[in-house]
Amino acid sequence: MHESLTIALLQARETAMSWFRPVLNRHNLTEQQWRVIRILAVHRSLDFHQLASEACILRPSLTGILTRLERDGLVWRMKPVSDQRKLFASLTPRGEALYQEASHQVEQGYREIERQFGPEKMAQLQGLLYEFSALPPPPDDV
């Protein structure tokens, strides 16, 4: 019998997040809010569906997350005049400032993880995870 891959991945995620949760807590952010902010900091502006996909957040949940981030002055939501069905999100200047401050602290956590785990093993782990994530989905009859 194989060890549970999904449990091993969750345990590894918990170990990694233990380095970052204190930073997020200091900034009154949830993990999901941080993922949205981090992705928007990189992409500047994303459509709602693409943001949900990249952040691994279900669309109904993303609606609530964006509502709270907008209420807190961290995110703007915009509908293009040319297509009112689309919704885009981007960081406000306040959101960008929060990202800059928190990302430096998060980066310190990454450096410490890499110091303890080793840069080669860290690169190998990330490469394997990207490769694993690219596997095709199972057939419908599984």
Q: How many CA atoms lie within 13 A of 88 on its CB side?
A: 14
Give domain 5-132's CATH architecture. Answer: Orthogonal Bundle (1.10)
Give the position of tokens 């040319």: 82
CB 69 within 8 A of CB 33: yes
User: Is the entire prediction scored with pTM above 0.75?
Assistant: yes
At residue 99 the predicted structure's pLDDT band, cuts being 50, 70 and 90, is very high
What is the per-residue pLDDT for 139?
Answer: 87
pLDDT tens readout for residues 1-46: 568 999 999 999 999 999 999 999 999 999 999 999 999 999 989 9
Q: Where are the domains of the chain?
A: 5-132
Least confident of 52-61, 76-85, 99-108: 76-85
**pLDDT reading at 47 higher than 90:** yes
pLDDT at 44: 86
pLDDT digits (tens, 9 = 90+) for 72-90: 999 999 987 787 778 899 9
Q: What does pLDDT average to over the chain?
A: 94
Which pLDDT score is estimated for 117?
A: 96
